[in-house]
């Protein structure tokens, strides 16, 4: 059909203006689709008829006139148009959506699946062009639509072939019932969309494609990292429409806690690198605080400003914003806990809570908090919806230590600077309870030792260039550093218990062997039994009978990675509260290790007990009663060995019931046991021992091994011929001073 000149007019009714069709008089003889030429530009429209339209006129809605740059009364050339259905059928059309009028804006979510269905039904068999503007009526709201992109349907599908072919971009197409319309928000739009059709394609994984777990530099935290990934990132990797259909929400907060140096900060930084998110904002807790009123809260708001702005603009398409709080306990202490404070901490906590999970909550953030004092943090911050994933980053196990040592020695191995005799597995066994930072320190110390060998000891400090090229970090460097330089904060200080058994254990009879055997059984029970993660034993007996030495020996032979002696000599001058805190800290440190042993020495001295009065510290007593009965956290095991010389006092204080079992440590009670002890000590000759045996024959003795050692040392200072006489007189002197015990 030849071109016709027609005059542009308004659309006759509001209903017709929502059809996206140009309107002509019913008597006009035109095809369903026409090309309207406006100067050099061409626009394709679908036609509808209406009796109110005057002949030779063609009516357009306001959005159509804006798109085609038409004015009322203008003359345009109209020509019929036929679609090539093998090439111009729309498979997928992406459109941008916004409210037509700002006054009708709301926050209600609009289901794009239903919107797609209505759109295809309403505009079926109509012509669409890229850049076209139209109005959509949905749920009694009017929306402005702009066509952004179109892909042609594969002709093979029209022939019944289900195999997908290559998708072809088109500028002009025909909408069919099988077409898919995908709705996206414009940058300035505040429409809230839900459903499958709201993004161009299922969102790509937020995990960076070139991310490599091996290169993260995090060792020994595979299990923890997997748990964090499952809880915090699985929902973000899944297509968002499926998460919405499940009614799920993203995790918005993670709390990493644990001993210092175990990789909390490192893990938080690497999480930021792993995700295809912008560089995380890292904030040290104390930096937030400001002495001026309102400034601290403003600092919190600034951290979330970018995320808020992006969520308003892009909604569900917003990228992930990561905010990392190091030492979060500095700003999020329990509200109301700081008596006499200005209340700044409380308002900062309130501000943080409202940003993470308040009325206008953000869905494009991930807050990672780190602390080694989770007990100080306000409990409202730890509930689900806030920092809901709580992950302990604990001391690495043996496999973890192997990984960490491999990471820190990788460059040396790469450049052939690591000695062939260095066995990483052996070092991992030797470094029980080392944190990641301490293992890194061990490698540094070994490197320093190796480098020191190549420094000339002359008037000036300079490198011996002749030997420096042969620099190798050897096994001896690591073992030397392990012995002298690096000690684990949550490990075993051998100097602590070495002083208690410097004279060894004198097995003067079967009774001593029985105590040691029982101790070994309790150690095995602690290691192997899952039913009793807490085992406690009280060694009781008269003063100087060697209880502390036996307790130290049992703990040493246990080879537990954490051994601590809670002794009164470390708490001289402490107030009751300070003493309770010191005892509590020892137990809390023990809970961080897989296997721990605590020796609570001289319990009556810890309790400040004196028989005059009698007087004792009830505060310390109650603290000990609680801690002795408190089981360690899941997966941890604890052996407690207590010692006392006043079993009767502990009985009255109801403390005996706090121990699983009680073992009696006796004194030397007769001459035979005394001679056995003297033989083991080797301080007297055979003839002298025979004389001593004759001197004590028939006597009932009661002397502690510790006291006996003191008497022997006094006696051997005499001339050889007087030593036996002196020793026997000292024994009788002890008997006169302690008639009940000799």
Residues 6+ apart with CB under 8 A from 638: 526, 533, 534, 535, 590, 591, 596, 597, 598, 631, 632
Active-site pick, 19, 492, 548, 643: 548
Distance CA 638, CA 596 (A): 5
pLDDT at 644: 92
Is the model's pLDDT at 335 over the cut of 50?
yes
Other CB atoms within a 10 A radius of the CB of residue 44 amount to 22
Residue 602 annotated in active site: yes
Higher-scoring residue by pLDDT: 619, 356: 619
- What is the mean pLDDT of the segment spanning 312-320? 67
Active-site pick, 185, 355, 547, 592: 547
Is the model's pLDDT at 345 over the cut of 70?
no
Active-site pick, 85, 312, 629, 630: 629
Residue 629 annotated in active site: yes
Is the model's pLDDT at 635 over the cut of 70?
yes
Q: Supply 11's token pair.
A: 């659309």
Active-site pick, 10, 680, 706, 726: 706
The Cα angle at residue 377 between residues 374 and 381, in degrees rounded to 5: 115
CA atoms within 13 Å, Cβ hemisphere of 726? 15
- What is the mean pLDDT of the segment spanning 386-415? 83
Active-site pick, 601, 643, 647, 707: 601
pLDDT at 464: 63
pLDDT at 639: 92
Higher-scoring residue by pLDDT: 345, 164: 345
Distance CA 589, CA 638 (A): 11
Other CB atoms within a 10 A radius of the CB of residue 620 amount to 21
- The percentage of residues in the chain with a pLDDT greater than 70, rounded to a whole number, is 85
Higher-scoring residue by pLDDT: 459, 87: 87
Higher-scoring residue by pLDDT: 514, 738: 514
Task: Match 């290559």 to its residue by tokens.
Answer: 166
Q: Which residues of 572-588 are buried (b: 16+ CB within 10 A; e: fewer)?
A: eeeeeeebbeebeebbe
Residue 114 annotated in active site: no
Across the chain, mean pLDDT equals: 80
Q: Supply 407's token pair.
A: 């990471």
Chain CA centroid to CA 559, Å: 29
Distance CA 534, CA 525 (A): 10
Name the residue among 221, 308, 307 with its Cα closest to residue 271.
221
Phi, psi values for residue 325, rounded to 5°: -105, 110
Report pTM: 0.61
- Burial class of residue 619 in the structure, from the number of CB atoms within 10 Å of its CB (0-12 exposed, 13-18 middle, 19+ buried): middle
Is the model's pLDDT at 737 over the cut of 50?
no
Name the residue among 56, 35, 59 with its Cα closest to residue 45.
35
pLDDT at 240: 63
- What is the mean pLDDT of the segment spanning 363-388? 82
Residue 706 annotated in active site: yes
Per-residue pLDDT band for 163 (boundaries 50, 70, 90) equals very low
Measured between alpha carbons, how far apart are the two ends of the chain, in Å?
Answer: 133
The answer to whether 202 touches 316, Cβ cutoff 8 Å, is no
Residues 6+ apart with CB under 8 A from 721: none
Distance CA 136, CA 123 (A): 10
- What length does the chain have? 742
Phi, psi values for residue 565, rounded to 5°: -105, 120
pLDDT at 23: 92
Per-residue pLDDT band for 293 (boundaries 50, 70, 90) equals low
The answer to whether 170 touches 155, Cβ cutoff 8 Å, is no
Distance CA 148, CA 595 (A): 63
pLDDT at 330: 76
Q: Left, alpha or beta for 651 (phi > 0: left; psi -120 to 50: alpha)?
A: alpha
Is the model's pLDDT at 338 over the cut of 60?
no
Among 234-238, 436-440, 528-532, the minimum mean pLDDT is found in: 234-238
pLDDT at 160: 45
Residue 333 annotated in active site: no
The answer to whether 715 touches 681, Cβ cutoff 8 Å, is no
pLDDT at 59: 92
Judged by DSSP in three states, 331 sits in: coil
Is the model's pLDDT at 618 over the cut of 50?
yes
Active-site pick, 264, 602, 643, 644: 602
Distance CA 484, CA 24 (A): 97
Per-residue pLDDT band for 642 (boundaries 50, 70, 90) equals very high
Distance CA 309, CA 404 (A): 40
HEC profile for 700-731?
CCCECHHHHHHHHHHHCCCCHHHHHHHHHHHH
Residue 547 annotated in active site: yes
Per-residue pLDDT band for 465 (boundaries 50, 70, 90) equals low
Per-residue pLDDT band for 223 (boundaries 50, 70, 90) equals confident
The answer to whether 34 touches 9, Cβ cutoff 8 Å, is no
Cα 315 to Cα 104, 109, 124, 240, 686, distances in angstroms: 18, 11, 29, 12, 94
Q: Which tens digits make up the pLDDT trace of 262-276? A: 877 777 777 766 665
Is the model's pLDDT at 567 over the cut of 70?
yes
Distance CA 570, CA 256 (A): 32
Is the model's pLDDT at 513 over the cut of 60?
yes
Strands (E), 349-402: 365-371, 389-392
Q: Which tens digits make up the pLDDT trace of 34-63? A: 999 888 889 999 999 988 888 889 999 998
Name the residue among 503, 505, 449, 555 with its Cα closest to residue 713.
503
DSSP 8-state code for residue 675: H
- What is the mean pLDDT of the segment spanning 411-432? 84
């Amino acid at each position: 059909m030849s071109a016709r000149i027609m005059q542009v007019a308004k659309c006759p009714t509001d209903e017709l203006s929502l059809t996206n069709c140009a309107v002509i008089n019913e008597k006009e003889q035109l095809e369903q689709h026409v090309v309207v030429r406006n100067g050099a530009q061409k626009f394709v429209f679908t036609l509808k008829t209406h009796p109110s339209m005057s002949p030779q006129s063609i009516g357009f809605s306001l959005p159509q006139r804006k798109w085609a740059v038409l004015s009322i009364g203008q003359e345009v050339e109209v020509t019929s148009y036929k679609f090539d259905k093998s090439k111009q059928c729309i498979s997928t059309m992406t459109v941008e959506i916004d409210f037509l009028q700002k006054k009708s804006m709301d926050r209600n979510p609009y289901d794009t699946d239903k919107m797609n269905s209505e759109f295809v039904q309403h505009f079926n068999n109509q012509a669409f062009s890229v850049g076209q503007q139209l109005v959509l009526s949905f749920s009694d709201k009017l929306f402005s639509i702009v066509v952004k992109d179109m892909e042609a349907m594969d002709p093979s599908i029209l022939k019944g072939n289900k195999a997908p072919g290559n998708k072809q971009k088109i500028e002009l197409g025909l909408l069919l019932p099988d077409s898919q319309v995908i709705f996206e928000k414009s940058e300035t739009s505040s429409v809230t969309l839900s459903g499958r059709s709201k993004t161009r394609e299922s969102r790509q994984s937020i995990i960076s494609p070139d991310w490599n777990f091996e290169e993260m530099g995090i060792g020994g935290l595979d299990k923890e990292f997997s748990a964090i990934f499952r809880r915090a990132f699985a929902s973000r990797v899944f297509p968002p429409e499926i998460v919405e259909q499940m009614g799920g929400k993203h995790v918005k907060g993670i709390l990493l806690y644990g001993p210092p140096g175990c990789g909390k900060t490192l893990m938080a930084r690497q999480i930021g690198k792993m995700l295809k998110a912008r560089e995380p904002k890292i904030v040290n807790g104390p930096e937030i605080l400001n002495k001026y009123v309102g400034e601290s809260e403003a600092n919190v708001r600034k951290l979330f400003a970018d995320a808020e702005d992006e969520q308003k603009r892009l909604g569900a398409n917003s990228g992930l914003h990561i905010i990392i709080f190091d030492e979060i306990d500095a700003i999020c202490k329990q509200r109301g806990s700081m008596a006499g404070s200005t209340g700044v901490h409380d308002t900062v906590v309130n501000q943080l809570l409202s940003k993470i999970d308040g009325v206008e909550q953000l869905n494009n953030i991930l807050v990672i908090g780190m602390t080694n004092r989770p007990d100080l943090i306000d409990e409202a911050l730890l509930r689900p919806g806030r920092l809901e994933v709580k992950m302990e980053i604990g001391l690495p196990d043996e496999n973890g230590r192997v990984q960490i040592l491999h990471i820190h020695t990788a460059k040396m191995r790469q450049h052939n600077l690591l000695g062939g005799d260095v066995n990483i597995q052996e070092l991992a066994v030797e470094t029980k309870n080392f944190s990641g930072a301490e293992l890194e320190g061990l490698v540094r110390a070994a490197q320093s030792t190796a480098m020191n060998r190549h420094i000339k000891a002359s008037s000036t400090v300079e490198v011996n260039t002749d030997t420096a090229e042969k620099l190798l970090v050897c096994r001896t460097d690591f073992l030397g550093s392990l012995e002298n330089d690096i000690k684990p904060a949550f490990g075993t200080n051998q100097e602590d218990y070495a002083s208690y058994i410097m004279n060894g254990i004198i097995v003067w009879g079967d009774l001593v062997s029985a105590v040691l055997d029982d101790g070994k059984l309790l150690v095995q029970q602690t290691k192997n039994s899952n039913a009793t993660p807490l085992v406690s034993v009280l060694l009781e007996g008269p003063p100087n009978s060697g209880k502390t030495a036996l307790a130290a020996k049992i703990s040493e032979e246990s080879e537990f990675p954490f051994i601590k002696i809670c002794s009164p000599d470390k708490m001289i001058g402490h107030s009751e509260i300070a003493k309770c805190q010191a005892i509590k800290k020892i137990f809390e440190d023990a809970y961080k290790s897989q296997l721990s042993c605590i020796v609570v020495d001289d319990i009556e001295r810890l309790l400040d007990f004196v028989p005059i009065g009698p007087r004792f510290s009830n505060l310390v007593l109650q603290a000990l009663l609680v801690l002795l009965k408190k089981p360690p956290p899941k997966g941890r095991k604890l052996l407690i060995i207590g010692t006392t010389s006043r079993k009767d006092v502990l009985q009255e204080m109801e403390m005996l019931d706090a121990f699983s079992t009680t073992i009696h440590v006796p004194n030397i009670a007769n001459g035979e046991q005394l001679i056995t002890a003297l033989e083991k000590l080797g301080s007297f000759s055979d003839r002298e021992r025979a004389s001593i045996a004759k001197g004590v024959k028939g006597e009932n003795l009661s002397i502690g091994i510790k006291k006996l050692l003191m008497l022997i040392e006094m006696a051997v200072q005499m001339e050889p011929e007087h030593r036996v006489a002196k020793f026997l007189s000292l024994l009788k002197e002890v008997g006169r001073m302690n008639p009940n015990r000799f």
